[in-house]
Amino acid sequence: AVDGELPSEGVVTGAIQVPPSGRPVVFLADHPTTGGYPVAAVVRAAALSALAQARPGTRVRFRLS
């Protein structure tokens, strides 16, 4: 693993990874199959289509449930 990264592991659609920059990244339909940053949460499947319609740079708020 590179400094600041975890060993790569499989990730699922909707995973929210947090790279060293601190800016969360949500993995949608075209996501890679593995990732090396912490996964903070996973977006519910029912919310993925609405999230996918957001323009790049749009502020998004998440609620734990």
Write down the pLDDT at residue 7: 86
List the chain domain ranges: 1-65
Write down the pLDDT at residue 4: 61
17 has pLDDT over 90: yes
In this prediction the pTM is 0.82
pLDDT digits (tens, 9 = 90+) for 26-56: 999 999 999 889 999 999 999 999 999 999 8
Closest CA to 16 of 50, 55, 44, 58: 44
1 has pLDDT over 70: no
What CA–CA distance (Å, rounded) separates 29 from 65?
22
CATH class of 1-65: mainly beta
